[in-house]
């Protein structure tokens, strides 16, 4: 038995999958929850030690015979997090996460000193947004100068797990694209932006090398191997950000595929052979983790919104699905603008969620729940429209993430986006993508061919847009856009 281990470090949990490429199936799937520290002023943090504890707890659920059969490891991780470590490899502060919006002032300062948003787009390919790593580094320098002086290396979340496993400090171009200080065209650090963050030292000396294509970065350390119950010396691949690994796990490694992820955040993206720079800065001009580029739209609120609504009404998953079925498209007139965590697209870090259209007849749980599903999907539809404006088209949307488990939500995506929805039999796209990338690295297999051979459509879960619903949502989407514009005006 030859098993590849894929690890996905998310916001809510650490997931592990043990994938057998010969059988084209999982040998084991396990996860461990993660706590999250959030405050009303936009702080969102985790301790890096929580990630290690979560990885250990998840792997303990996997049988020892399977763990001993692991022949390669790949790591996927939440993007944009900031993990400064000292010379001993110890994190110096709690990790500021992708959904931390508390450094808006630092973003404004960096953008202004760089020459404005247009200069950032021209020279970097991306604006400097709250959540990106650049503003977190500046915040650290200003708020904790003594600890900042001890910083030996800047890592991202998935880099930190790679470092824990191998002792090797690296980044790869896909994940590094979300720092705000990588020139995504050249896949090199921006000396200009780094000088603005810290004019007193060359921060390139505090950054690891950037891998521009998938590769083996190191091997599993003997003491970590004993701790995790796996063979010492197991190759560890470069891995990547969760979006980049989900692209691999949905075979989005060649032009013509669009992936939509219904996770804590919502993302929609497609592979490109050349950089795609949006002059308005709404499309993240990321590199892929496969040697190309991955233009991407990210919304800060996806299952965040639906989970908050579900908890409000004390609905389990079965009751949630039943409620969605009990409410027709349009949620009896309720429109949810679900900016619970602020929002990245549009860029409204201080925004709040709002409900429109409430009356004495529609104040029922099923309508609130359906409005949340529709609201987050409308936000992703707006992203799809922007990708289409840049010439990115596909015949189908490959749906992944926790929200893809809902039949009603899948059909809602098809109807709102007016596109067929494909669901794969293999779930856990990010962890699977990390596993498949690692397999390709150790076997020298062509990644596109490997993913096509391994991934299989779940025909029963795939769905086509229904014309009546498509026509209804075309009008309802315009009403949502009007409502979201008002929210933007209030919380700009």
Listed in order, strand segments (DSSP E) in 59-201 are 70-77, 83-85, 95-96, 153-155, 170-172, 182-183, 188-189
Tens of pLDDT, residue by residue over 302-336, are 999 999 999 999 999 999 999 999 999 999 999 99
pLDDT above 70 (res 399) = yes
pLDDT above 90 (res 384) = yes
Can you tell me the mean pLDDT for 22-36?
A: 96
Name the percent of the chain in helix, strand, coil, to the closest 5: 40, 20, 35
**Percentage of the chain with pLDDT > 90?**
91
Residue that the structure tokens 């200009």 belong to: 192
The CATH number fitting domain 251-423+462-492, selected from 3.90.1150.10, 1.10.3720.10, 3.30.930.10, 3.30.420.40: 3.30.420.40
Cis peptide before 346 (omega within 30 of 0): yes
Can you tell me the mean pLDDT for 445-473?
A: 96
* pLDDT number for residue 1: 63
The pLDDT-based confidence of 394 (bands split at 50, 70, 90) is confident
Q: What is the pTM of this model?
A: 0.90
- Known catalytic residues are 242
The pLDDT-based confidence of 183 (bands split at 50, 70, 90) is very high
Tens of pLDDT, residue by residue over 477-489, are 999 999 999 999 9
Give the Cα separation of 433 and 405 in Å (integer). 19
The CATH number fitting domain 3-218+237-242, selected from 3.40.50.2300, 3.40.630.10, 3.50.50.60, 3.30.420.40: 3.30.420.40
* pLDDT number for residue 179: 98
pLDDT above 90 (res 146) = yes
The answer to whether 182 and 176 are in contact (CB under 8 A) is yes
Give the Cα separation of 383 and 343 in Å (integer). 13
The answer to whether 78 and 244 are in contact (CB under 8 A) is no
pLDDT above 90 (res 264) = no
The yes-or-no answer to whether 3-218+237-242 and 251-423+462-492 have a common fold is yes
Q: Where do the structural domains in the chain lie, given as residue ranges?
A: 3-218+237-242, 251-423+462-492
Token pair recorded at residue 364:
């029922």
């Amino acid at each position: 038995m030859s098993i590849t281990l894929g690890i996905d470090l998310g916001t809510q949990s650490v997931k592990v999958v043990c994938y057998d490429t010969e059988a084209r199936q999982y040998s084991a799937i396990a996860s461990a929850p993660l706590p999250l520290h959030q405050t009303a002023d936009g702080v969102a943090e985790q301790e890096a030690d929580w990630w290690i504890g979560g990885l250990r707890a998840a792997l303990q659920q996997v049988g020892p015979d399977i763990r001993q059969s692991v022949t390669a490891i790949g790591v996927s991780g939440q993007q944009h997090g900031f993990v400064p470590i000292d010379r001993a490899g110890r994190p110096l502060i709690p990790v500021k996460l992708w959904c931390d919006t508390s450094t808006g002032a630092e973003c404004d300062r960096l953008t202004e000193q760089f020459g404005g948003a247009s200069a950032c787009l021209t020279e970097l390919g991306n604006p400097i947004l709250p959540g990106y790593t650049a503003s977190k580094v500046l915040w650290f320098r200003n708020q904790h100068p003594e600890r900042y002086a001890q910083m030996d290396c800047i890592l991202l979340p998935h880099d930190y797990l790679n470092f824990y496993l191998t002792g090797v400090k690296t980044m790869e171009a896909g994940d590094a694209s979300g720092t705000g200080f990588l020139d995504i065209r050249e896949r090199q650090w921006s000396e200009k932006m780094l000088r603005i963050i810290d004019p007193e030292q060359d921060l390139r000396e505090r950054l690891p090398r950037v891998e521009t294509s998938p590769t083996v970065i190191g091997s599993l350390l003997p003491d970590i191997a004993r701790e995790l119950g796996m063979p010492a010396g197991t190759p560890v691949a470069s891995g990547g950000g969760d979006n980049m690994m989900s692209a691999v796990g949905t075979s989005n490694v060649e032009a013509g595929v669009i992936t939509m992820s219904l996770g804590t955040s919502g993302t929609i993206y497609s592979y490109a052979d050349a950089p795609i720079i949006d002059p308005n800065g709404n499309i993240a001009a990321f590199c892929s983790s496969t040697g190309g580029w991955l233009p991407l739209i990210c919304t800060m609120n996806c299952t965040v919104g639906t989970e908050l609504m579900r908890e409000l009404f004390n609905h389990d998953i079965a009751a949630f699905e039943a409620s969605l079925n009990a409410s027709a498209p349009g949620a009896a007139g309720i429109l949810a603008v679900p900016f619970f965590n602020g929002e990245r697209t549009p860029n409204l870090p201080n925004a709040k969620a709002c409900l429109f259209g409430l009356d004495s007849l529609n104040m029922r749980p099923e309508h609130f729940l359906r409005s949340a599903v529709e609201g987050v999907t409308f936000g992703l539809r707006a992203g799809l429209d922007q990708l289409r404006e840049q010439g990115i088209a596909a015949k189908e949307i490959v749906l992944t993430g926790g929200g893809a488990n809902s039949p009603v939500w899948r059909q809602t995506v098809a109807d709102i986006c007016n596109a067929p929805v494909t669901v794969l039999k293999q779930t856990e796209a990010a962890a699977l993508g990390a596993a498949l990338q690692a397999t390709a690295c150790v076997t020298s297999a062509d990644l596109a061919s490997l993913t096509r051979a391994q991934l299989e459509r779940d025909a029963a879960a795939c769905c086509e847009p229904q014309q009546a619903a498509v026509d209804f949502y075309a009008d309802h989407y315009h009403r949502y856009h009007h409502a979201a514009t008002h929210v933007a005006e209030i919380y700009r």
